[in-house]
Structure 1
Amino acid sequence: MRILAIETSCDDTCVAILENSGKKGADFKILSNIVSSQVKIHAKYGGVYPTLAVREHERNLPIVLKKALKGAGILKNPKPDAIAVTIGPGLDPCLWTGINFAKKLAQEWNIPLIPVNHIEGHILANFLEKIRPKFQITNDHRHSGIPSGRDKIQSFPAVCLIASGGHTQIILMEKIGKYKIIGETRDDAAGECFDKSARIIGLPYPGGPAIAAEATKISNFKFQISQPKADLGQRLTSLWLEPRAGNFGINLPRPMIYQKNYDFSFSGLKTAVLYEWQKRNTPPRRGPASGREKYIQALCFEIQQAIIDTLIHKTLKAVKDFRTKTIILGGGVTANKELRRKLKAQSAKRKVKVFVPAKNFSMDNASMIAVAGFFNQKKATKNYKKIRSNPNLQI
């Protein structure tokens, strides 16, 4: 079976072609995976403008499709067996652009459409790890296969942490196709907090990579982090830096971290960043070693740690409460190296396995939509009118 997948839920125009064969399971081969990013276009606005995103999707989809078909070596005979397309959640105008494009192709080729949930795609992106170029997934939902060269997921249920610019959720996964949201953000998503904090400081969009890059620079400074009295359930550490240009004591909140639920709230953290930035009388810029730059690096470190601490604490709380031995990550924020490092370290102490996608599959891509389409073949239809956008679609 060959699936062509289309993903336009936000500002990336993505087309991928995936092929599989097999009886009990499925031997997958990604024939092509093309992503056209709009980051440079939206950077000057500090976020995604839907009208601009739609314009770029309309312009890029035919180009990206042709590149995908050419890359797969099927430009002369492009007809797949089905088309998988993201229907939500996401930005409604962007979703419709991809859906309408998929409908036209499906009608032209007389093939079924498979509606796909973007969040489920992020979860199943873990089965795309380190493709060179083949990997295997079994249909045994109790012990689903992991990409070639990886151990199998030990058991279900699994706790899934989805963190991106628009979503922050903890999902209990009983098996592929059966999910329950047990926690989510009540306001800003983690990625949104990164973006807005970066804008306050004057860093470029997207904010996550920009803040992470600044945070890594403090490794050359003299700093001290106090040790927590106990595990993550106790009072969390705050950062006290002693860089050469001055002393910075930065202590940002970890909102809702002590509450007994699995929900998040990052709007308060964003506000705390704003107040910290406004109150600090930093010295003027004096080249690369200026006190101002060191302060920015220290602040970025603490912003990153505040977000990471909250994500990890809530995820591990869910693991403990539901007695699971598997954590699955998905979404652009989970590409953060420090998040992955700390979560793996904390999970190893609890003998819990953590599965994370390769960085290119943490971000929005169509390969994850193709895999999700494979596992949702029962939803395939030629009644194209039934396929509609749902920007608030729940998993």
Structure 2
Amino acid sequence: MLILGIETSCDETAAAVVSDADVGARLRANLVFTQLEEHRLYGGVVPEIAARSHLERIDALVAEALREAGVDFADLDAIAATTGPGLIGGVMVGMMTAKAIAAVHGKPFVAVNHLEGHALTARLTHDLPFPYLLLLVSGGHCQLLAVEGVGRYRRYGGTIDDAVGEAFDKTAKLLELGYPGGPAVERRARSGDPRRIALPRPMVGRPGCDFSFSGLKTAVRHALGKLESVTPQDRADLAAAFQAAVADVLADRSARALARFQAETGQSGPLVVAGGVAANATLRARLSDVAQAQGTELIAPPMALCTDNGAMIAWAGLERFRLGAVDGLDFPARPRWPLDSLSAPTASTPAATASELAS
């Protein structure tokens, strides 16, 4: 089975081809064009610029992905695309491209929730069986979920304000470290002392599995304001203190969720981390300690598959398609689409072609 996946929900234009072969042979092509330089001047993603950039590049990227995979449209079993959540203009570009390909070539179309793409990536890379606990951490999302199957998610907790990736970006902006914020803070933190400046650990020790990062970001701003003259070392120390605080919060919340997951399922784990923030090596190391302390392991996709990419969308589409899920060409784009609102596909659903759906 071969699936083409298209991802355009934010500022990466991506296309990939995956198969259901052995683990090592699943990823046939995975191309990503990042728009960092186009948004760097503004210190964040500008939705209109992102959508126009997707529109300019998506056709060539799809063609190159097919060439790299050594296949043509006729060889594909289905076309998958992110249909939400995300910046609606960007989502529309990728979704309509996928629908057009499906209609012209008579292929089934599979609508993919962007978050489910992240949630199932560990099954692409590690052949991981269900169930497992997922920590999803990105620029727009921060939540803990029990992953029980394709389309079957139970939410243990989430952020009550900022997502962790958003907090990284805003902290980097306060410290004048550049964009994107996550990698910038991580780089500067390497030369900093995380103990010099005390920062709070919001929600640590409290019942439940929710997160809060708005107060931590504000604490960085207040600490910065107390310094008479801000030196490069001050910025490094604040970056290190912020990253350490985030690590403590994620560790505490994840430990609570993992204990709950193990009690409810009677299984030891594992703990899976996904999303752009999962590329942070310091956070990975801390989460690995949490997993080991509770008798399990941390599973994280390769760095290139943590940030937005087409492979995760193609794989989620493949997982849904082989269970019988096919969506109509009138499926709408969704700027908001909670992961725990998905329904599980049923094996009894017939896999219609796009030409049948269009008629």
Fold match (TM-score > 0.5) = yes
1:77-226 correspondence to structure 2 within 5 Å: 79-129=75-125, 146-147=126-127, 157-218=131-192
Matched, 1:12 2:12: yes
Q: CA deviation at 1:118?
A: 1.0
**Equivalent residue of 2:17, what SS?**
strand
Q: Which runs of 5+ in 1 are unaligned?
A: 130-145, 224-238, 241-248, 284-291
Match of 1:314 among 228, 248, 253: 253
Equivalent residue, structure 2, for 1:277 = 224
Which letter does structure 2 place at the counterpart of 1:311? L
Instruction: Let me know the Cα RMSD of the aligned residues.
Output: 1.8
TM-score (normalizing by structure 2): 0.88
Aligned to 2:212: 265
Aligned-partner SS, 1:379: coil
Corresponding residue for residue 56 of structure 2? 59
Matched, 1:380 2:331: no
> Under a length normalisation based on structure 1, what TM-score does the superposition of the two structures give?
0.80
Q: CA deviation at 1:96?
A: 1.0
Q: 2:40, 2:204 → 1: CA distance?
A: 31
Are the structure 2 counterparts of residues 163 and 63 from structure 1 closer, same or farther at C-alpha, using a change threshold of 3 Å?
Answer: same
Q: Which has the higher strand share?
A: 1
Letter in 2 for 1:255: P
- The list of structure 1 runs, each at least 4 consecutive aligned residues, that deviate by more than 3 angstroms after superposition, is none
Rounded to whole Å, the distance in 2 between the matches of 1:15 and 1:197 is: 31
Residue 167 of structure 2 contacts residue 213 of structure 2 at CA under 8 Å; is this kept in 1?
A: yes
Aligned residues, how many?
A: 332
Relative distance call for 1:27 and 1:215 in structure 2 (3 A) is closer
Distance change (3 Å), C-alpha of 1:21 and 1:202? closer
CA distance in 2, matches of 1:108, 1:191: 38
More helix by share: 2
Instruction: Confirm whether residue 297 of structure 1 aligns to residue 242 of structure 2.
Output: no
Contact 1:128 1:358 (8 Å CA) reproduced: no
Deviations 1:265-304 (A, max 9, x none): 1111111111111121126xxxxxxxx1111111100111
Who is 2:46 aligned against? 49
Query: Are positions 1:338 and 2:312 aligned together?
Result: no
